Amino acid sequence: MPVRADLSENRPVVLGTSPDPDAWPSVPGSVDEALAHVRTWPTDLLPGNGATTRLWELLATCAAADVAVARAVEPHLDALAILSQAGTPDDERPLPTAATWGVYAAEMTGTRLEASRAPDGSWRLDGTKPWCSLADRLGCALVTARVGGGDERGLFAADLSAPGVVASRQGWVSRGLREIPSGPLELRDVPATLVRSGSWYLDRPGFWWGAIGVAACWYGGAVGVARRVLQHARTRGDDPLLAMHVGAIDERLASARTSLAAAARAVDASGARTDHGRRSEDEDAREAGRVLAKRVRAVVARTCEDVLRSAAHALGPGPLTQEEAYAKRVADLQVYIRQQHAERDDVSLGRAVIALPGQPW
């Protein structure tokens, strides 16, 4: 049975505002509730609109209660942001309408999704797209596909209920994020709307904005773990080892929180320069944004790893084996942060920093 998060003591995760919880959307207690409620959330929950901190605080607060809930709502909000940034689609055909959206842009060796023109001029999708989370439960998705048999990619919108769409849960044996099956999506002659052609999806400012938004979810998951350690420490008197672990956790969370807060300000500044992401950035600004995203994701992912390790040492095996919600939170976070590719992403960050003009520090 799915575990419903206990929201009785869930508090907002603050990055830099003084949030009024009564003004926020209510935090869903499960993935089912998340998919039902997110469609009713305010439409201005977009990065780069001057309230990025508020958006990331909401995502982090969801993750502090249930990491899987944040994992469910983040792609939907990202899709709405992408559609806002894209404006009028390149295609003359209307976008499909949906209550819930996904974003599927992953690539995997041995799989390929092709977009081609049908005789009537419409676009059709054929092939396999990997890592398609909740594809059997969402209404529509933004999908990247290769165009014309080459390597150029376009961004398409597809109705996931259309004939020819088959979502598979086969092989999803994960203990973390079990409610978020992310198997392959098979598409056969599926109608699609071209949202934007070429490299727009990767080149837009919103690409690096969204990458940091995911890190805000990771941070919230780490806060949820840390709160359990603090609760334990406050019941054990003056235990120096527990105090040490709490201090280490506080240090790491402060580093991640500071990085996210500064990044939110940078995203809003970028949004002001680019009409909320509808205009492109110059190459220097784009590269600076990419470096920032790589750096913040690395800081937050390492924070999560350190918090998980400190929590395991502080709490021992008890909560991991006897507390369903805590064990789930740990497993969910361990899987989610692997969207940051550890040493490979450190290499990417290092190369990007080396290529920057001037002195970065």
Per domain, the residue ranges of the chain are: 101-196, 202-355
pLDDT in tens, 228-268: 999 999 999 889 999 999 999 999 999 999 999 999 999 99
Instruction: Using the predicted structure, report yes or no on whether residue 306 has a pLDDT greater than 80.
Output: yes
pLDDT confidence band for 96 (50 / 70 / 90): confident
pLDDT recorded at residue 23: 72
CB 91 within 8 A of CB 151: no
Of 57, 56, 68, 1, the residue nearest 28 (C-alpha) = 68
* DSSP code string of 81-140: HHHHHH-S-SSSSPPPP-SSEEEE----TT--EEEEE-TTS-EEEEEEES--TTTTT-SE
Instruction: Using the predicted structure, report yes or no on whether residue 8 has a pLDDT greater than 70.
Output: no
pLDDT recorded at residue 6: 66
CB 100 within 8 A of CB 141: no
Please, what's the largest Cα pairwise distance for the chain?
75
Buried b or exposed e, range 250-287, using 16+ CB within 10 angstroms: eebbeebbebbbebbebbbebbeebebbeeebeeeebb
pLDDT recorded at residue 19: 66
User: How far, in Å, are 71, 155, 193, 257, 350 from residue 68 at the CA level?
Assistant: 5, 26, 29, 21, 31
Kindly state the average pLDDT of the residues 192-210: 96
The CATH code that applies to domain 101-196 is 2.40.110.10
pLDDT confidence band for 69 (50 / 70 / 90): very high
pLDDT recorded at residue 284: 93
pLDDT confidence band for 21 (50 / 70 / 90): low
- Residue entry with tokens 């003359």: 92
142 Rama class: left (phi>0) / alpha (psi -120 to 50) / beta: beta
CB 70 within 8 A of CB 59: yes
pLDDT confidence band for 25 (50 / 70 / 90): confident
pLDDT recorded at residue 99: 82
Higher pLDDT, 312 or 21: 312
Architecture of domain 202-355: Up-down Bundle (1.20)
Of the chain, the percentage scoring pLDDT greater than 90 comes to 84
pLDDT recorded at residue 170: 80
Instruction: Using the predicted structure, report yes or no on whether residue 1 has a pLDDT greater than 70.
Output: no
pLDDT in tens, 341-354: 999 999 999 999 99
Summary mean pLDDT of the chain: 94
pLDDT recorded at residue 7: 66
Instruction: Using the predicted structure, report yes or no on whether residue 358 has a pLDDT greater than 90.
Output: no
Instruction: Using the predicted structure, report yes or no on whether residue 176 has a pLDDT greater than 90.
Output: yes
